[in-house]
Amino acid sequence: MSTQVRYSIIIPMFNEEEVIQETYRRIKKVMGATGEPYELLFVNDGSTDNCAQMIEECSYWDESVKLIDLSRNFGHQIAITAGMDYALGDAVVIIDADLQDPPELILDMIAEWKKGYEVVYAKRIKRNGESLFKKWTAALFYRILRYSTDISIPVDTGDFRLIDRKVCDELKRLPEKNRFVRGLVSWVGFRQKALEYERDERLAGETKYPLKRMIKLSLDGITSFSYKPLKLAGYLGALLSASGFLYLMYVLYLALFTDEAVKGWASMIGITLTFNGFVLIMLGVLGEYVGRIYDESKGRPLYIVQEFYGGKKQQSTQKHRVAHLNK
């Protein structure tokens, strides 16, 4: 590369005012230990608190700090994508601003990258400070995703990872609107290695992934990398149709060849409601896929950058470059 930046650290943030100063301090300390040039790319995903202003002030006296200020909340995965579009480093690290993922692990990732691995991802062996429901649903999602896709997406991993420049460039070529970054990283391939760690409790603030957003992320992951839900709906539809046909034959047999009265109208109503419920579920599955096709067909940019702060000499070049990428 023609840049002097060795490492780009992407830090998406949404209402992280309570923790952002400590996040900056810890990441700054870790990256200073490398002895190599780096940039800290904070991506403000439509925050309504003062975290963006705090990082903007840092960018005036710390030339390594850059703020990508999005015009509204586009979502965590899109914020990561914006960071990758702006990143200049030979290696790109993605880490959340809440400090649940320890910045100190970045040094181990860099060591593995220097050994030749193009992707080094962090795998959670323990999740501290999270509810039993959150742990159970997260474990269930990763295993459903693993068994429903044709690519190997590591279980118990988030977006905390290091990727090589060529991996980042390949990811920028992928045009999906409903993005599932960790799945895309698995899809592009290259040499990958896991580093195990214990995830910490949030230092402050509230989770930015409540149940509603977790469900949205889960649907994006499954529908982006698998059409097995459609196949499963077809198999279940065939099974229920065959069962209904056999039951109908049984009812006709009783009516035509025996004196036994046809009974079980309550069960018939139950079966009818079951069939109708299945049809609605199947339509919902189809709707998820059709909705994503509709999103892709609109051709809108993934995000809009309101302001870019820091790296003044690179600012105009970066704006032109990202505008071109989003056409």
- Report yes or no on 325 lying in a domain: no
The answer on 173 and 109 residing in a single domain is yes
- Find all residues with CB under 8 Å of 13, minimum gap 6, and list them: 20, 42, 43, 44, 45, 47, 51, 52, 55, 79, 97
- In total, how many domains does the chain have? 2
Residues 22 and 120 in one domain: yes
Angle subtended at Cα 141 by Cα 136 and Cα 147, rounded to the nearest 5 degrees: 130
Asked if 22 and 163 sit in the same domain, the reply is yes
For all residues of the chain together, what is the average pLDDT? 77
- Domain range for 19: 7-208+302-310
Tell me: do 124 and 84 sit in the same domain. yes
For residue 12, list its beta bridge partners: 43
One domain, residues 72 and 22: yes
Domain harbouring 127, CATH code? 3.90.550.10
Domain assignment present for 220: no
Q: How confident is the model at residue 319 (pLDDT cuts 50, 70, 90)?
A: very low
Structural domain contains residue 272: yes
* The model's pTM: 0.69
169/236 same-domain check:
no
Contact 159, 119 (CB under 8 A): no
Per-residue model confidence (pLDDT) at position 95: 92
Q: Is residue 128 part of a domain?
A: yes
Same domain, 194 and 231: no
Q: Where does residue 310 fall: left (phi above 0), alpha (psi -120 to 50 degrees), or beta otherwise?
A: left
User: In this structure, are 293 and 179 located in the same domain?
Assistant: no
Considering the domain architecture, whether residues 175 and 246 belong to the same structural domain is answered as no
Task: Determine which of 22-31, 70-79, 233-242 has the lowest per-residue pLDDT on average.
Answer: 233-242
Query: What phi, psi does 252 have (nearest 5°)?
Result: -65, -35
Q: Domain check: are 81 and 155 in the same one?
A: yes
| CA atoms of 243 and 263, how far apart (whole Å) | 18
Decide: residue 203, CB within 10 A, 0-12 exposed, 13-18 middle, 19+ buried.
Answer: middle
Q: Give the pLDDT score at 269.
A: 64
Is residue 149 situated within a structural domain? yes
pLDDT tens digit sequence for 10-63: 999 988 888 888 889 999 999 988 889 999 999 998 888 888 888 888 888 888
- In the numeric block, which tokens belong to residue 73? 């909340």
User: Do 290 and 162 fall within a single domain?
Assistant: no
Q: Which residue has the tokens 């840092």?
A: 58
Token match 């279980």: residue? Answer: 155
Q: Are residues 191 and 239 in the same domain?
A: no
